[in-house]
Amino acid sequence: KVNTHDVISVSSAVGGWLLCALYSFINSIYLTELNVKTLYGWVEGTTRRALESNRDVYSFFGIPYARSPDYTFRFRPPVDPWVWEGVKDTTNQNVPFCSQDPVLLKNLRQDTWFSYVIDANNTMKEDCLTVNVFSPTKPSKVQQTKKLPVLVWIHGGGLSFTATTNKLWMLPAFEDVVVVTIQYRLGVFGFLTLEDNWAPGNTGLLDQVKALEWVRDNIQAFGGDPEKVTIFGQSSGGFSVSAHMLSPRSRGLFHRAFAMSGVAILPYNDPEFSKKNPAADALKLAEKLGCEFWDNAHTSTCLRNHVTTSEMLAATKSLQMRFGTNIDVDFFPDFPRHRLTANAFNKSIPLMLGVVSGEMDFILGEKMIPNYNKVSSHTPKSAESLIRNDLAKYHPQLKNPDRIVREYLTNIKPGIDTVKAESDYLTDSWYTSKLVTVANAHKGAGGTVYMYEFTKQPSLNQGLKPRPVDFKRADHCDDMIFFQGIPFLPGLKERGLTFTQGEKDLSRKLMNLLANFARNGSPNSIGSVSWPQYPEYVLINDTMSVHSGFREQKVKLFFEN
């Protein structure tokens, strides 16, 4: 007599074996030297190399970390990407940029060294929530290789424009780190808000959170260690890094933080200094686009379903609107300054902060200093007006602005001297004093802080747009060149651009310090002490030297009532 239970058991076992065999067979089809399996499907990579490195960097461009945010998901928090079948081709580095005003990006490329790291022929789409991954670990060897620390790059651009660089493979070409670069929604698409669930705002920052969740869940397949994630960014990317330190939404997703030329209390991005009623701007834009207001649900539905990307950008530009961060339930439950004061931030995370000597010299100077290009029109009187207006708007707590005016303008001559004084003041007002505020708060709460001032003017700036004044010092973004290894980017020499051996040596040194920070939470190698913790800081030029009293004489004036 046949035992039915035994037959069923054998059948189940055979069926299970067949399923496992089929699963293994399918995996064997996809498993090649350059393929990686993520939670959402397989991706195919390629290789890149840096100059003076014999190491292959396994590179993956445009991996989706969230569903397309156009139309149905426009203005809403990101959601997981769809699972795909087969192997997704992620070998093409011409990944679409997030939708933005193309004129702003074109001008940035024409005027600065960004023309060498941001491609000119990329398309722009709302469907842009992707990451690039660069790893020195061959995909087929991941299981046998020690997991490496991960560096996640958040690009700048005032939360309004630019894109992540797809040329950040120099770091893993020289250091044992995995690098991830992320894209997030910008401008109106990332920061429009009706201050409700229909359009909560800060979705660009929530995109960054979703990307960090993707890193946590997938980076091990690329050879990365999800328990050693460092976020780093510059300008509004630095703002974003600092914002994640303050946001309860980001806790547990990273373990070190490096903010370059930007923190969460940077006036341009801080919700405390943004428009007081951002929802009113959204309704004004809706009216411009023909979306009648019945209620928020109707308005947001109209903006999502009946307005094209180009129409949205054109209307925003026509109204001269800028959409920024806002207070919400999810990401920013309070103003950044208030959270700093209340020690409501992640004190256990080592923090590295950096500023350049001429933050407002050119890239930002053209935008922030009136009549920047008309040097002869700059007088101590016009500079005093600029300073007093800035103090009234961004430092209203200061009761004696005359002291600051005297500090920056005493014995200043009209013309170039005045332009430099204006740049120095705005650099300290917007950047130095803000970084010092964050450093003091973090250090005062028992945290670990490292700080630098970067002063070297790179030779890469030569041959670009002629500048009305040249103070022979670092401009906004110049430190990125060396921390990211741009001197070793292939193809620059063919475009007539060369770096000195000293610049290459400096870049190798800074890449190593960054990798050390990702590994150990300190830029120093284990067993060596060369970069002390804040309040001491490192001044970086052709060489590196340790100093104390970070721009003390001027910066202290911003803290006196």
Indicate which residue of 126, 476, 507, 522 is catalytic. Answer: 476
| 503 is known as an active-site residue | no
Q: At what angle do helices 401-409 and 380-394 cross, to 10 degrees?
A: 140
Exposure pattern of 384-396 as b/e (b: 16+ CB <10 Å)? bebbeebbeebbe
CB 134 within 8 A of CB 169: yes
* Helix ranges restricted to H, 165-250: 170-174, 187-191, 203-218, 236-246
Indicate which residue of 175, 195, 359, 384 is catalytic. Answer: 359
Quote the CA–CA distance of 209 and 348 in Å, as a whole number. 19
Q: Which residues are paired to 358 by β-bridges? A: 475
Q: H or E element: which one contains 538? A: strand 537-540
Quote the CA–CA distance of 210 and 202 in Å, as a whole number. 12
CB 138 within 8 A of CB 228: no
The tokens for 75 are 């203005």
CB 132 within 8 A of CB 153: no
| 235 is known as an active-site residue | yes
CB-neighbour burial class of residue 142 (10 A; exposed 0-12, middle 13-18, buried 19+): middle
Quote the CA–CA distance of 211 and 206 in Å, as a whole number. 9
* Residues recorded for the chain: 561
Q: Which residues are paired to 43 by β-bridges? A: 36, 88
Place of tokens 């690329």: 222
The tokens for 541 are 């030029």
Place of tokens 């059948």: 11
| 195 is known as an active-site residue | no
Which sign, positive or negative, has the C-alpha torsion 292, 296, 302, 304?
positive
Quote the CA–CA distance of 321 and 313 in Å, as a whole number. 10
Quote the CA–CA distance of 82 and 67 in Å, as a whole number. 6
CB 125 within 8 A of CB 188: no
Name the residue among 447, 513, 525, 518 with its Cα closest to residue 479: 513
Indicate which residue of 59, 99, 160, 235 is catalytic. Answer: 235
Other C-beta atoms closer than 10 Å to the C-beta of 127 total 17
The tokens for 369 are 């200093």
- C-alpha dihedral, 216 to 219 to 221 to 226, nearest 10°: -60
- Active centre residues (catalytic): 235, 359, 476
